[in-house]
Chain A
Amino acid sequence: MKRRFSIRMMPAGFGPLPRCSIGRMGQRHAQLFESLRRDLLDRLVEVRGSLDHAYARMPEAAVRPQLEAVVDKMQGYLATQDLQSYRSSAASHMAMRVGEGFAPENVIHAVIAIGDVAVQTAQTRLAGHPECAELVLAITRLNFIAARTLVGLVADDVRRRSQQRDLLLSSSQTPGQTAGPVPGGVRS
């Protein structure tokens, strides 16, 4: 049974909370996130094998900068709300990981899992903090954006490959025609 994702990781309890306003609270969220940063990175390194099986084989010194880069992007988005920049970095991340031979769905899972660990860390470290719930909500929204962005990249790849296939098939039906360059990027 597929149960890779669960929403079991919920906060210990929330008190009365102010109305959430991500735009106004962006800097505050980034500051709170900064206070979690060290714990979050430690936790990510600790559970790296469950984020991505490749991380399990990598030494801590090698994996920490990679995870730090992802965390930096999350923090950057929380601070600036610059969606375009975040999408750019997500696209880079996807390209790198796929280039290293990972299945796209594994890349998506790993990024979402990093977001989940961030949520879990926030809930644990900021339990009782008045802004805990808002930060968790902000990270969860960010995780949705990450999922949407990465799925969109896979969809783009599917479209390109479909075009290539159609072109190849049509070429194969034309006598004497050779397979020339195909549209779309080259993926390692």
Chain B
Amino acid sequence: VTSLALRVHGATHTGNVREGNEDAHVLDRELGLYAVLDGMGGAMGGDVASAKARDVIHAYVKSKRQAMAPRDLMAAAIGAASAAVFEEAKSRRDRKGMGTTVVACLLVDERRAVIAHVGDSRAYLLREGRLQQLTRDHTIVAELLEKGAISPEDAAHSAYKSVLSRNLGNKPEARPDVVEIALQAGDRLLLCSDGLYGYASGEAVLHLLGGGEGPEQVTRDLIEAALRGGGGDNVTTIVLEVGRAAVPRATQVIRSTGAVSWWARRPLFLQAARDAGLAQSAICAVLSPEEAIEIVAGNLCEAVFHDLEQTTGINVWTYAENLAHGWFDQGGDYEVLRELVDILRGASMAVIADIRAGGDSLAIMLEIAVTRALIVAEVAIGNVLAERLRAIEAELVRATPAIAPPPPPAGTAALASSSTGLAASASGSMPQMSAEGAQQTFVEQRTIPYMQAVRIDPPSPAVARCLEEARARAIAAIGADDRAGRREVADCIERAHRAALAPTGPSDAVLAARELYGVRALEESGMAPLLDALDQARMAHVRAVRELDAGIEEKVTAMRRVSTAHQRMVGAVTALVIESGGPITARLQEATERTAGLRAEVGRNEARLAELERRAAAARAARPQIGAEP
């Protein structure tokens, strides 16, 4: 077995809740054997079971390594461990019921590994950024799930999801699952107990395992992630990294050389900030110029240094958050803060430029890392601004009751008077929505006009039936039509139908419009197909309502609801188009002006060309006369 270019590290932790650690692990680089065992039985000797199994497996593999094929060897070793634990449990009454899980990896050579397991300890493979679970939990719930007896949702919430269907110790023989995998350079294997994946999210595991840190750091980080997630169980992890070249990782370079190079250029950073006029920023108004440089620029330089050194972003985040909070609390403008950040960014780039003179590789790595730090700063400022936005919106809502209510729109005046309306609402007696016709009023509490809460009551059963029938008829009608875009029309009808039924009012229509519009910039696709579909949907839907065989009152109400839903959808889509088109309006204007200028120039040139042609024709006409002269 070769351990060339293999880095491995393992660690275990009791967790935040348990008093003792019943996990055990094997780390034998010489033998190429790595294993995690999770004992169970508590007072019955879970720790004894895992330790016993660990020792037996280790001794078995060591003694039979050359004599047996790797897969058979691992299966036999686990079988021997199970028999030993079973015998131990049988020999002492206080240890009856003890057992253990195991997941073990035997490196056959540089390119192959054998993974064997029993129970719910797991093995993962990280390859090219993708995390794959190599083992299948031997639990009752997992087996029921595999047979299709329960759904994944039921499995996730089952009280029995930790009950093992197989373990080492409850029977003399074990039935391990054994797989052989081919290894590639850069692969990472993770062996872990359920104390890791039960408390750290899969995303966190993927992030940490694929994050470029060495196995030692990753092992520590994984355990920390499990502890932060609650740490309700013992947690053990082993991380193996296979076949990586000995080139220092960028992260390592940044943490060492990069951070030191950055800090060594602190005077340059401060000077660049000074030259760019940082001390003149309004944010530094209460500081002397030197204080401004030392405090504002110096602190950022130090925060970046610590973040580079520790491969984190927390220092820059805190710096930017404090700066933004302090400035905005004084009523400061974002533009001033942005200019200050730009000055600091410029100073950072001056440092990078200086480092680049000594070698491009480090400079590029450092620029990436420093730009990342500045992104963190931007996002921290964004968070502070978003908080302020929410606070201001809350102030707006609070400020409004002091203002006289706005006059109701002309179309709703009758409704307001007939169903008590705003005045009743303001006096505390909520209007009751008894009649189907009184579909709009002011509910909850008064607020600012553009946030006015509007509610449409659910339709009566008779109207709901009308709406449902109209929807079906409309879709059937467009279904007979073979034109392209039929699906979009049907989609519009469905959404309008839901909006017509919705008790929440126009918000459904607005949401429907946003879903129809999707996330796209205006310039990337024309709006005509969507607007055509909306138009066809409206016509088909209204026609279907008109043709309904129902009472006149129900038909009128259904028609009003359908029309309102369509109008709101079209209105919302139009608003989206305008919203999306805003940023490019200036460009269109500019293009139009340029086009007009070019057209004028073409006109002038054509006139000039015509004049030249006219003169040429005159010259040609004059030439024979000259030749005819004696």
Contacts and interface: CB of A to CB of B under 8 A. Distances in A.
Tell me, yes or no, whether A binds B.
yes
B311 A6 contact: yes
B208 to A, nearest CB: 8
A161 B396 contact: yes
A38 B287 CA distance: 52
A17 B361 CA distance: 6
B403 A5 contact: no
User: Majority SS of interface residues in chain B?
Assistant: helix
B67 interface: no
Given A6-B311, A133-B364, A178 B407 contact: yes
A133 B392 CA distance: 43
Contacts of A176: 404
Interface string A135-158: 011001101100110111011011
Contacts of B514: 96, 99-100, 188
B600 to A, nearest CB: 26
B311 A95 contact: no
A99 B375 contact: no
Nearest to A13: B247
Given A154-B386, A179-B404, A73 B521 contact: yes
B406 A179 contact: yes
A10 B254 contact: yes
Given A147-B379, A158-B334, A165-B399, A8 B386 contact: no
B186 A12 contact: yes
Contacts, number: 255
B389 A161 contact: yes
Contacts of B334: 151-152, 155, 158-159
User: Majority SS of interface residues in chain A?
Assistant: helix
A27 interface: no
B307 A13 contact: no
Interface stretch (B71-79, B189-197, B581-589): B581-589
A141 B203 contact: no
Given A8-B311, A19-B360, A158 B521 contact: no
B360 A16 contact: yes
Nearest to B317: A2
Contacts of A99: 510, 514, 576, 579
Interface residues of B, number: 91
A109 B399 contact: no
B583 A91 contact: yes
B386 A2 contact: no
Contacts of A66: 518-519
A12 B360 contact: no
B116 interface: no
Contacts of B400: 168, 179
Contact of A158 (B245, B392, B517): B392
B248 A13 contact: yes
Interface residues of A, number: 91
A143 B402 contact: no
B372 interface: yes
B382 A5 contact: no
B449 A158 contact: no
Contact of B399 (A105, A120, A134, A169): A169
28 contacts: A6-B312, A7-B312, A8-B212, A10-B311, A12-B249, A17-B364, A18-B360, A20-B360, A72-B524, A73-B521, A84-B587, A95-B579, A100-B514, A105-B382, A109-B379, A112-B375, A112-B379, A120-B210, A133-B361, A134-B364, A148-B378, A154-B386, A158-B389, A165-B395, A168-B396, A177-B404, A179-B449, A186-B450
Given A7-B373, A13-B248, A154-B382, 12 more contacts: A7-B369, A8-B312, A17-B360, A19-B356, A65-B518, A88-B587, A100-B514, A154-B385, A154-B389, A159-B334, A169-B399, A180-B406
Interface of A: 1-20, 43, 46-47, 49-50, 65-66, 69-70, 72-73, 84-85, 87-89, 91-93, 95-97, 99-100, 103-105, 108-109, 112, 120-121, 124-125, 127, 133-134, 136-137, 140-141, 143-144, 147-148, 150-152, 154-155, 157-159, 161-162, 164-165, 168-169, 171-172, 176-182, 185-186, 188
Interface of B: 128-130, 186, 203, 206-208, 210-213, 244-245, 247-251, 254, 307, 311-314, 317-318, 333-335, 338, 356, 360-361, 364-365, 367-369, 371-376, 378-379, 381-383, 385-386, 388-390, 392-393, 395-396, 399-400, 402-407, 448-450, 507, 510-511, 514, 517-524, 572, 575-576, 579-580, 582-584, 587
